[in-house]
Structure 1
Amino acid sequence: MLEVPLWLWGAFAATVVVSLAVDLLAHRTAHVIGFKEAAAWSALWVGLALTFGLVVFLVLGTDAGTEYTTAWLLEKSLSVDNLFVFAVIFAYFKVPAAYQHRVLFFGVIGALVFRGVFLSLGVAVVSRFTAVLFAFAAVLFYSAYKLLKDEEESFDPGRSFAVRMLRKIMPVSEEYDGAKFFVREAGRRMATPLLAVVAAIEAADLIFAVDSVPAVLAVSDDAFIVYTSNAFAILGLRALYFMLAGLLDRFRYLSKGLAVILAFIAVKLILQASHKMISPGIPEIPSPVSLAVIVVVLAGSVVLSIRRPPPAGSGEEDKAGLPD
């Protein structure tokens, strides 16, 4: 495990808190976020993540810096699937475009907490039971298979566990009331549909954690590396969503590229576990190689999607129902 100085943990925590505060203040007035604004924020989040990665390189060394960068890029690429689900949830609940950023803001806070819990448990389990890496590899192989066969499980936002629990705890009103999460109707405190949307977003992130947690643990089993990389990838999700709104379905080969990446990470996990449990002679895949594979596959998927767009009239362009 890395010997991470306390000040570096503090710097990370301060960066996250300040960034969220600035983001909240900048969007305190509900409005529709256009491409230019989203692109500027996305560039800011990417720059922040890479700057922190440079600090990791300088303080903790080349290996740690490479692992951080690989884990961040891996989580960033896997988060693209989240964007499609966000679109489905917003369409299902008919969320006004002006309030979507507020929903995603609180969704990000919940994701930071839940990912922290899952990753802490994952690191603890992997450090004690190396054999669990084989189970993680099986999960990733299955996820890759579903992506290749276009057999992703359908997600019904209205029937998600979180939304059903919310409806049991308190009544949910039928109408939105601006950006409010709670209202009073006939003397009763009620949740607005906006709170139900946040619950659906959190439920979706729990589903995606099944893939992303094993994947990032293949890159590193250090708590600092896996959590900071996840956190910076999650922080940029909102801006990425609004920047790519209307464009996601044009990257038709991206899901295939993600399948290749997941399968590659699964092989990495198997070799890693075999090296520790069976024989030191079994080679492991170095982090620089993992980083190179992820970059090449992602770039190749995007380039191929641009060179081979969906046929005109195929209906693929509008299938996600993303806003203009």
Structure 2
Amino acid sequence: MNSITYFIFALGTLALVLIDVWQTRNGNISIKKAALWSVFWFALALLFAFSIVWCWQWYAPNSHYSPQQAAVAFTTGYLLEKSLSVDNLFVFTVIFAQFKVPAELRPRALLWGVLGALLLRSVMIAVGGQLLESFHWVLYVFAVFLVWTGVKLALPEKHPNNQASSSQLLAKVLPITEQYHAHALWVKLDNKWWFTPMASVICAIAMMDLLFALDSIPAIFAVTQEPFLVLAANVFALLGLRSLFFVLQGMIDKFVYLRPALAVIMVFIGVKMALVGSAWAIPTIASLAVVLLVMTSAVLASVRYNRLPVNK
């Protein structure tokens, strides 16, 4: 993979982020509009998967992957990262509720969240790729971490207090206003600079981005160690996250089996990572099938659960 490819991909990513900013520019996003854009981002990811089949020799001329293998690896990684990114939405909902973020300010806060996630994951992908090239044993460290994360997800959920603690910590060292001032992170009042509650929200989102990156990057390295595919899967998974948030924010409490599904996926991916390079290595196509089966089962089970008279 040459630097020109990464540069062009970075420019394309920037253009897509600007498009996402443009389509949420007024802050008032209906569920219908968000759903249409969610379909657009999903279709764009599928189109990119097809482009890998046609243009893989240009994307990665020295890769040992065949175009078909690369396309399957990207699709599996994308679906995995998309599944894991849905868990972000639960935490974003809690953050917005605790900080009482006005509806019209949420698109901008989500934008900061997506940009922060892209930056953090890009750094971790670069570091992770270098580690895997030099030290194969890092795979086993990642595998243990993934299994441990899956076990944590399977345990009873505890509401995260990181956002509250981050706000309290910030308030101890910086002056913070009680009211929001549109999208501003700081304002000047009485000849003194003050941070706004939006700064606390961004701080909380940044902390969550870091924790989610620690989960998701090891997971996708179990699917593929090709840095370009890892980066592309993360970019396309995160691009539609803001639109998906507005689709799911009114229904997010109905996906009651999402956490157990993610727990199963994380444990499975951890086992897959531990078996990389062995006689029992799990094929990528099998991973794709497992991810699809588990997430589909979780959605159908959640729909069935919510149709029960006692839960209506």
Using structure 2 for the length normalisation, give the TM-score. Answer: 0.90
Whether 1:111 and 2:117 are equivalent positions in the alignment is: yes
Whether the 8 Å contact between 1:175 and 1:192 is mirrored in structure 2 is yes
Any stretches of 5+ residues in structure 1 without a counterpart?
276-281, 318-324
Whether 1:193 and 2:189 are equivalent positions in the alignment is: no
Correspondent of 1:131 among 132, 137, 141: 137
The residue identity in structure 1 corresponding to 2:46 is L
The residue identity in structure 2 corresponding to 1:242 is F
Correspondent of 1:220 among 224, 237, 253: 224
Partner of 2:79: 73
Partner of 1:84: 90
In 1, Cα distance between equivalents of 2:14 and 2:178: 34
RMSD: 2.0
Whether the 8 Å contact between 1:70 and 1:291 is mirrored in structure 2 is yes
Correspondent of 1:304 among 294, 301, 305: 301
Whether 1:206 and 2:206 are equivalent positions in the alignment is: no
Q: Secondary structure at the match of 1:108?
A: helix
In 2, Cα distance between equivalents of 1:87 and 1:290: 30
Whether the 8 Å contact between 1:146 and 1:152 is mirrored in structure 2 is no
Q: Secondary structure at the match of 1:189?
A: strand
Whether 1:44 and 2:48 are equivalent positions in the alignment is: no
Q: Secondary structure at the match of 2:306?
A: coil
Aligned residues: 302
Q: Secondary structure at the match of 1:190?
A: strand
Whether the 8 Å contact between 1:250 and 1:310 is mirrored in structure 2 is no
In 1, Cα distance between equivalents of 2:308 and 2:79: 30
Which stretch of the first structure deviates more once superposed, 304-313 or 288-297?
A: 304-313
Alpha carbons of 1:129 and 1:55: their partners in 2 closer, same or farther (altered >3 Å)?
same
The residue identity in structure 2 corresponding to 1:34 is S
1:198-244 CA-to-partner distances (Å, cap 9, x unmatched) read 12111101111221111011011111111111111111111111101
In 1, Cα distance between equivalents of 2:168 and 2:47: 41
The residue identity in structure 1 corresponding to 2:185 is F
Correspondent of 1:149 among 144, 147, 155: 155
1:90 is displaced (CA, Å) by: 0.1
The residue identity in structure 2 corresponding to 1:217 is F
1:303 is displaced (CA, Å) by: 0.9
Whether 1:18 and 2:15 are equivalent positions in the alignment is: yes
Partner of 1:322: none
In 2, Cα distance between equivalents of 1:309 and 1:40: 24
Q: Secondary structure at the match of 1:308?
A: helix
> Percent identity, aligned pairs only?
39
- Which aligned pairs between 1:202-281 and structure 2 lie closer than 5 A? 202-272=206-276, 275=278
Any stretches of 5+ residues in structure 2 without a counterpart?
57-66
Whether the 8 Å contact between 2:162 and 2:204 is mirrored in structure 1 is no
1:35 is displaced (CA, Å) by: 0.7
Partner of 1:56: 52
1:311 is displaced (CA, Å) by: 5.9
Q: Secondary structure at the match of 1:309?
A: helix
In 2, Cα distance between equivalents of 1:18 and 1:98: 23
The residue identity in structure 2 corresponding to 1:303 is L
Alpha carbons of 1:56 and 1:287: their partners in 2 closer, same or farther (altered >3 Å)?
same
Alpha carbons of 1:56 and 1:90: their partners in 2 closer, same or farther (altered >3 Å)?
same
In 1, Cα distance between equivalents of 2:259 and 2:307: 14
Q: Secondary structure at the match of 2:136?
A: coil
In 2, Cα distance between equivalents of 1:143 and 1:157: 20
